[in-house]
Amino acid sequence: MSRQIDQLWSGILENIKKEVNGNSFATWFKPIKPAKLEGATLTIQVPSQFFYEWLEGHYSVVLNSAITKVLGPAAKLLYSVIIDSSIQSMQLPSMKKVSPKAKVQSNINERFTFDSFVEGDCNKFAKAASMTVAKSPGGTTFNPLLVYGGVGLGKTHLIQAIGNLAIQNGVVNRVLYVDSERFTMDFIDSIQKNKTTEFSSYYRNADLLVVDDIQFFSNKERTQDEFFHTFNALHNKGKQIVLSSDRPPKELNGIEERLISRFQWGLVVDIQLPDLETRQAILQKKAEENGLELPGEIFQFIATNITSNIRELEGALIRLLAYSSLKGVDITLDLAKRLLKDVCLPQMRAISIEFIQKTTADYFGIPDDMMRAKTRKKEIAQARQLAMYLCKRLTDSSLKTIGLHFGGRDHTTVIHAIAVVEHMMEKNQLREQVEAIKNKIEIAQL
């Protein structure tokens, strides 16, 4: 029996693995234990109430559909949550059942709203345009609205928010969200099954059609042709089209000119990389949404170290939350540093030696190229020794590497410098300076 349930569970995990990224899988699905199987009712054991809520809030569709695939349509999911790590447990139902009908209706994720979208200079214009379109789909000159920008910067969130608001305000009947790959696959499928008419009318009857990641239409001639006609049909009827892409329309290689020109009929807006304040605000918002209060320094630490992708920013926070809920410990800055070492450290290390040199030079009011110069003037030599000492203490760099950064000095020079500084500190000299500079460096890295 227990072998059977383990096997089933592995099968379910295999299915889940295909749907979620590696980090989420490790965080949220590895800790689950299959507890009981009665008929088609599977009970899984999760480590905390928080875990249960998170899974239900974010992964219920993924979980339920994986379980249905393995256990059949009658499958039912129950959770058992371990309380205070004792055996005592409480049974909780899976709240949401997959509802295939709702999926066909729009494919829009309710989580992606304007309310949960943090505004910054990077996305202000895109957000304003999106809201305008959402309030009056097809009723503005922003047709199509095309939002472009790099990976993980909020394109999908924003264009789905348009759908959510339009549905909520009741200004449209039929909203459809589809990514271009799905569109392509469904189209090919419809050709094989002789159902292209149904396919066409499905999309051409939308009031608001949202197509994500149109760069994937590249080099798919027949799909592009179909989309061209879909586009025209909708546009002629005054229906709204919203598109996203990872680059501006002109740079969409492998896409027909007539489509590219249509993509630019309405409004093209971009989303840029968020600045530090925006990144912090996003983290704060995500924490709030999950009912969590964290010290500001944690947000600052994550936001300083993850700069290029909001999805990763979120991922870092989620890892902290999961860990603290699993182990029942508070999230502290130390914990954050430890857990996020792999995401954050490469950047911290990369700037370290130069940064230490600069901070030390600034502190002593000397030009930072003096760190690499040959001069033996006493103040300069001492500042240089101190910087070498800090490089050894604050980075993982080898003595050899440190020496090279200080004007190609030998590693024995570095050893000597460290010994001198340590010796002086034992005599309570230099200690204050070392601490002050160390503080400056560490604060700047937060």
For the bound state, the minimum distance from the C-beta of residue 53 to ligand ADP, rounded and expressed in Å, comes to: 17
Q: Contact 145/269 with Cβ under 8 angstroms? A: yes
Report the distance separating Cα 75 and Cα 281, nearest Å: 40
For the bound state, the minimum distance from the C-beta of residue 286 to ligand ADP, rounded and expressed in Å, comes to: 7
Residue (313 or 424) nearer to Mg ion, CB: 313
Query: Considering the rule CB under 5 A, would residue 360 count as an interface residue with Mg ion?
Result: no
Residue 358: name its binding partner from Mg ion, ligand ADP, none (Cβ under 5 to 8 Å by kind): none
Beta bridge partners of 149: 271
Report the distance separating Cα 90 and Cα 62, nearest Å: 23
Q: Which amino acid is at 306?
A: I
As given in the structure block, the two tokens for residue 132 are: 């305008």
Q: Which residues of 122-157 are buried (b: 16+ CB within 10 A; e: fewer)?
A: bbeebbebbbbbbeebbeeebbbbbbbbbebbbbbb
Q: Which amino acid is at 19?
A: E
Beta bridge partners of 148: 245, 270
Residue 11: name its binding partner from Mg ion, ligand ADP, none (Cβ under 5 to 8 Å by kind): none
Report the distance separating Cα 71 and Cα 216, nearest Å: 34
Q: Angle between the 49-71 and 310-327 helix axes, to the nearest 10 degrees?
A: 110
Place of tokens 């410098």: 417
For the bound state, the minimum distance from the C-beta of residue 210 to ligand ADP, rounded and expressed in Å, comes to: 12
As given in the structure block, the two tokens for residue 53 are: 């809520």
Residue (214 or 402) nearer to ligand ADP, CB: 214
For the bound state, the minimum distance from the C-beta of residue 122 to Mg ion, rounded and expressed in Å, comes to: 16
As given in the structure block, the two tokens for residue 10 are: 């592995």
Which of these ranges, 14-22, 79-87, 156-164, 419-427, lies near Mg ion under the rule CB under 5 A? 156-164
For the bound state, the minimum distance from the C-beta of residue 282 to ligand ADP, rounded and expressed in Å, comes to: 5
Q: Contact 154/166 with Cβ under 8 angstroms? A: no
Residue (256 or 275) nearer to ligand ADP, CB: 275
Which of these ranges, 38-46, 75-83, 100-108, 151-159, lies near Mg ion under the rule CB under 5 A? 151-159
For the bound state, the minimum distance from the C-beta of residue 40 to ligand ADP, rounded and expressed in Å, comes to: 32
By CB under 5 A, the count of residues binding Mg ion is: 2
Which region holds residue 206: left if phi is over 0, alpha if psi is between -120 and 50, else beta? beta
Which of these ranges, 64-72, 150-158, 189-197, 225-233, lies near Mg ion under the rule CB under 5 A? 150-158
Residue 303: name its binding partner from ligand ADP, Mg ion, none (Cβ under 5 to 8 Å by kind): none
Residue (77 or 153) nearer to ligand ADP, CB: 153
| 3-class state of residue 282 by DSSP | helix
From the list 64, 143, 156, 359, which residue makes contact with Mg ion (rule: CB under 5 A)?
156
User: Looking at beta carbons, which residue is closest to Mg ion?
Assistant: 156
What DSSP designation does 111 have? T
Report the distance separating Cα 6 and Cα 12, nearest Å: 10
User: Looking at beta carbons, which residue is closest to ligand ADP?
Assistant: 154
Residue (12 or 118) nearer to ligand ADP, CB: 118
Beta bridge partners of 242: 145, 210
Residue (165 or 353) nearer to ligand ADP, CB: 165
Which of these ranges, 152-160, 192-200, 221-229, 363-371, lies near Mg ion under the rule CB under 5 A? 152-160
Place of tokens 């392509």: 184
Residue (52 or 148) nearer to Mg ion, CB: 148
For the bound state, the minimum distance from the C-beta of residue 164 to Mg ion, rounded and expressed in Å, comes to: 15
For the bound state, the minimum distance from the C-beta of residue 156 to Mg ion, rounded and expressed in Å, comes to: 3
For the bound state, the minimum distance from the C-beta of residue 254 to Mg ion, rounded and expressed in Å, comes to: 19
Residue (278 or 397) nearer to ligand ADP, CB: 278
Ordered DSSP codes for 5-23: HHHHHHHHHHHHHHHS-HH
Query: Which residues sit at the interface with ligand ADP, rule CB under 6 A?
Result: 116-118, 123, 149, 151-157, 282, 285, 310-311, 314
As given in the structure block, the two tokens for residue 435 are: 């601490």
Residue (286 or 438) nearer to Mg ion, CB: 286
Length of the chain: 446
* Residues engaged in binding Mg ion (CB under 5 A): 155-156
